[in-house]
Structure 1
Amino acid sequence: MADARVTLDDLKRILLDAAGADEGVDLSGDVVDVAFSDLGYDSLALLEAANRIQREYRVQLDDDALAAAETPGAFLDLVNEHLAAGSPA
């Protein structure tokens, strides 16, 4: 699946499936550079989302790098870099 890319819409779907959304959080806006904490997602929610991405896209992600990805944009960059490199699960 090295030619696959995770889009912002994919990430939103996975976040909502994995952890839902706090009341009042609008993921339909421009959230690429909004901190996950401001969106209502904690580290456990992000770990669940990362686990789902790893299973769905068959990619292995580094826990330390995931922890450093504080926004959806940074998270997507990390995931898509691994996908482009053909990182096996």
Structure 2
Amino acid sequence: MTTTIQFTLDDLRRILLEAAGAEESVDLGGDILETRFEVLGYESLALLETGSRIEREYGIVLDDDDLGDEITPGDLIDVVNAQLSLPEAQAA
């Protein structure tokens, strides 16, 4: 029986803090699912580092388009979970 791993908002919060920290004015504990990363204070380099950490930890590959500052945490969570549901990811 194969169990699919789910990437959650809590996972993303942890990795964002590890990769780039957080601005004092941003409450990552709040409702951030639909807030663009740019508004949350994460520029492209911070998102690339976040993406690299996600790839290493979860054994997936993200496209650069998946990490643009116009996307939201909810968008990124959806992309990661879509990758995790692929048969190749489950074998990793």
TM-score, with normalisation over the residues of structure 1?
Answer: 0.89
Q: Based on CA coordinates, which of the two structures has the bigger radius of gyration?
A: 2
Give unmatched runs, 5+ long, in structure 1: none
Q: For 1:66 and 1:2, how far apart are their aligned partners in 2?
A: 26
The residue type equivalent to 1:66 in the other structure is L
| 1:72 equivalent in structure 2 | 73
State the identity %. Answer: 53
Matched positions, count: 89
Please give the residue correspondences for 1:36-75 in structure 2 after superposition, counting only pairs within 5 Å.
36-67=37-68, 70-75=71-76
| 2:22 equivalent in structure 1 | 21
Give unmatched runs, 5+ long, in structure 2: none
Determine which structure has greater relative contact order: mean sequence separation of CA pairs < 8 Å that are 6+ residues apart, divided by chain length.
1
TM-score, with normalisation over the residues of structure 2?
Answer: 0.86
Deviation at 1:69, TM superposition (A): 6.0
The alignment yields a C-alpha RMSD, in angstroms, of 2.0
- 1:86 aligned onto 2:87: yes
